[in-house]
Structures are given as C-alpha cells and as structure tokens.
Amino acid sequence: MAIVSPSLLAADFLHLDSDIQMINDSEAEWLHLDVMDGVFVPNISFGFPVLEAVASKCKKALDVHYMIVHPEQYIKQTAKLGAMMMNVHYEACTHLHRTIQEIHDAGMKAGVTLNPSTPVSVLEDIIADVDMVLLMSVNPGFGGQKFIENTIAKVKRLKKLINESGSKALVEVDGGVQAETAPRLVAAGVDVLVSGSYVFKAPDPLAVIRELRSL
C-alpha cells in the first residue's frame, strides 16, 4: 500500500479549516507542505504563519518540502512545528551532509529532493543517511503540471541505488500524480505519492485518497 501525502498547495486557502478536516478524516497518512520563496523556484507559496496554523489542526504527519535557498536556516523553526519530515533540495544545499545531520539532530526525518534534470547518481554518497528521496516529476514551482515521463525510469534507478547501498530511504514522487500515473509509479518502486489537484479538486477527495492508498 502506498503512503499518500496530499499537497496543501492545491487546497482552498479561503477554507483551509475544512480542507484540513477532510485530510484528518481521510486515509492519508501525511500532509505535504510546499514552501516556496520566489528565488529557488519562480513562485511564492506560504510561510510559517500558515504552517503553524495547519500544524495546530492537522492530525496527520507533516511532510514539509522546502523549495527555497538556505533551507538550513529554518531547521529549528520547522522542528518546533512538530514536522515529521523536512525535505530539502539537493540543488539548494552546498553542504548537504551537514544539513541532513542537523535535521536529524533536531528530531526530524530528513528528505532530499531532486529536480527533474538532476540525476540520482548525485546521491551515491548521501543515500545511506537520508530517510527519503523526493523526485520531482514536474518542474517545481506550480501545481497542475504535466507529468514528466522520464520519472518512471528515474524511480527504477533510484530504487536500485537504495537497494545496492543498503539504505532504508523511502521514494516519494511529486507532480502529475493521478489515476494514470500513480499505478505505474508504485509498480516502479514509489513508496509515497504526493498529489495536489487530483485530490483537492476531486468531487470526492476521500475516495481519491483511498484509491491512491490501495495501490
């Protein structure tokens, strides 16, 4: 069974309370939170006031994904929220090993994200230290984009690296995850499905989450 991490970016921000309640009532195990700074990616999403409000009401594990420069500056603040996972981009961290250590020292699980053009081979020397790798299956910054087909082969390469290294890292994919792509991703080795528009814009989000979780 896949872990489902619905992406808050696709929620109704005028009625976040009802969307958080829907997540609480659902079979989703995590909630994915995309923090964007308008520098690392060409969009601005939300910051700590929203994260704190969501954390106060959400009963699911918080999967916080930083698409920002210098994410290491926010480790303590993220831990204070009670986040389960802090996810940072390989491309944004010059000293990735140190950042991973600091995330662990703060009591969180550590994830590393790769943009679509970044090969999985860059993780060879860090894969044993991370709890999860997130592969972006769209170019980060905006929701509702078309799935990049190469992601399927990339998942298989990542899974091979994880197995050969003895790493326990989970594989997460974000971008264009829906009815057609999700089963293929799980078959390729994905453990965690992030889905935004497909869940939140559905007539019955609870049923969609149940369907994704059953894969």
Q: Which of 19, 63, 131, 174 is catalytic?
A: 174
99 HSE (CA, 13 A, CB side):
24
How far apart, in whole angstroms, are the C-alpha atoms of residue 126 and residue 119? 14
| 47: CB partners within 8 A, 6+ apart | 35
Q: Among residues 34, 131, 191, 204, which one is catalytic?
A: 34
**17 is annotated as an active-site residue:** no
Alpha helices in the chain (DSSP H): 16-25, 48-57, 75-81, 96-105, 151-165, 181-188, 197-200, 205-213
Active site residue 63: no
Pairing of strands 170-174, 132-136: parallel
Q: How far apart are CA 119 and CA 158, in angstroms?
A: 9
Contacts of 76 (CB under 8 A, 6+ apart): 106
What is the full DSSP assignment across 136-173?
A: ESS-TT-SSPPP-TTHHHHHHHHHHHHHHHT---EEEE
Distance separating alpha carbons of residues 166 and 8, to the nearest angstrom? 32
Q: How many CB atoms lie within 10 A of CB 144?
A: 13
Active site residues: 34, 174
